[in-house]
Amino acid sequence: MKKNLVLVGMMASGKTTLGKIIAKKQNLKFIDTDLNIEKINSMTIREIFEKKGEKFFRIEEEKETLKSLKKNNCVISLGGGAFMNKKIRESVLKNSISIWLDVDAKTIKKRIRWNNKRPLLDRENNLEKLNKLYSERKDAYKKAKYKIACKDLNKNILVKKILNLYDK
């Protein structure tokens, strides 16, 4: 039985897209913790932030993520802020293979330009906010077992890199 593969990184870094591909290739279950939180609460992440607040969301995130990490043979995509939570981070580092998908703020800004699902961003000063979030989170992300600098790499190359690290 292989350890779970956990993908960490900023919003729009490719965790879900790449996670689905890897899970399919490895015949593993795919879990997107944000998607599960949305299903459980019958609301989008943005709606949860607006109606119940970030604190409520972070509590839900911790419960859902810790529950997901107890499963076996999974590829798990964490929400962008989940790895900031010490309990989540320690559980991931102890029991899983973690990979930080490192994507710069400019690339993220391009990817989310038309996407209004990101509750920590508004239409104004997105690049400034992304840089601030990245700065706040990178020290936690650095604790992942592996890091892949994703700049200028396509999906196929990233999948190969992730699989090489996972198979080590």
Classify 4-167 by CATH class. Answer: alpha beta
> Which of 53-67, 105-119, 149-163 shows the lowest per-residue confidence on average (mean pLDDT)?
105-119
pLDDT at position 165 is 95
Q: Is the pLDDT of residue 4 over 60?
A: yes
pLDDT at position 122 is 54
Backbone angles phi, psi at 75, to 5 degrees: -110, 125
pLDDT at position 168 is 79
Find all residues with CB under 8 Å of 43, minimum gap 6, and list them.
51
| Order of strands across the sheet that contains 29-32 | 29-32, 74-77, 4-8, 96-102, 146-149
Q: 100, 8 in Cβ contact below 8 A? A: yes
Residue labelled with tokens 């104004």:
124
pLDDT at position 143 is 97
Name the band, by pLDDT with cuts 50, 70 and 90, for residue 167.
Answer: confident
